[in-house]
Amino acid sequence: MKERLIALQVYSVRDAAEADFAGTMRKVKEMGYDGVELAGTYGMTAVEAKKILDEVGLELVSAHVPMDQLEDDAVLDDYAATGLKHIAIPWLTGPKTKEELDAAIARIRSVGERCKARGMQLLYHNHDFEFEKIDGRYILDAYYAEIPSDLLQTELDVCWVNVGGEKPPVYVRKYSGRAPIVHLKDFSGQKSENMYGLIGTDGKKEEVSGKFEFRPVGYGLQDVPSIIAAADDAGSAWFVVEQDMPSMGRTPMECAQMSIRYLRSFL
Q: What percent of the chain has pLDDT over 90?
A: 89
Spatial CA neighbour of 197 closest among 214, 183, 172: 214
Cα atoms found within 13 Å of the Cα of residue 68, Cβ hemisphere only: 1
How confident is the model at residue 148, as a pLDDT?
98
Q: What percent of the chain has pLDDT over 70?
A: 92
- pTM of the full structure: 0.93
206 has pLDDT over 80: no
The helix or strand, by DSSP H or E, that contains position 239, with its residue range, turns out to be strand 238-241
How confident is the model at residue 207, as a pLDDT?
38
How confident is the model at residue 193, as a pLDDT?
52
How confident is the model at residue 94, as a pLDDT?
84
236 has pLDDT over 50: yes
Query: Amino acid identity, residue 22?
Result: A
Which residues contact residue 23 at a Cβ distance below 8 angstroms, ignoring those fewer than 6 apart? none
Each residue of 153-205: pLDDT tens digit? 999 999 999 999 999 999 999 999 999 999 999 999 986 655 555 444 444 33
Each residue of 192-201: pLDDT tens digit? 655 555 444 4
* 88 compared with 2, residue with greater pLDDT: 88
CA-CA-CA-CA torsion sign (160, 241, 124, 229)? negative
Q: State mean pLDDT over 214-219.
A: 98
Report strand pairing: 181-184 vs 153-157. parallel
Q: State mean pLDDT over 115-137.
A: 97
Each residue of 22-31: pLDDT tens digit? 999 999 999 9
Mean pLDDT across the chain: 93
* 192 compared with 76, residue with greater pLDDT: 76
Q: State mean pLDDT over 134-160.
A: 98
Each residue of 243-266: pLDDT tens digit? 999 999 999 999 999 999 999 999
Domains of the chain listed by start with CATH number: 5-188+221-264 (3.20.20.150)
How confident is the model at residue 91, as a pLDDT?
94
Cα atoms found within 13 Å of the Cα of residue 132, Cβ hemisphere only: 11
Q: Is 255 exposed, middle or buried (0-12, 13-18, 19+ CB in 10 A)?
A: buried
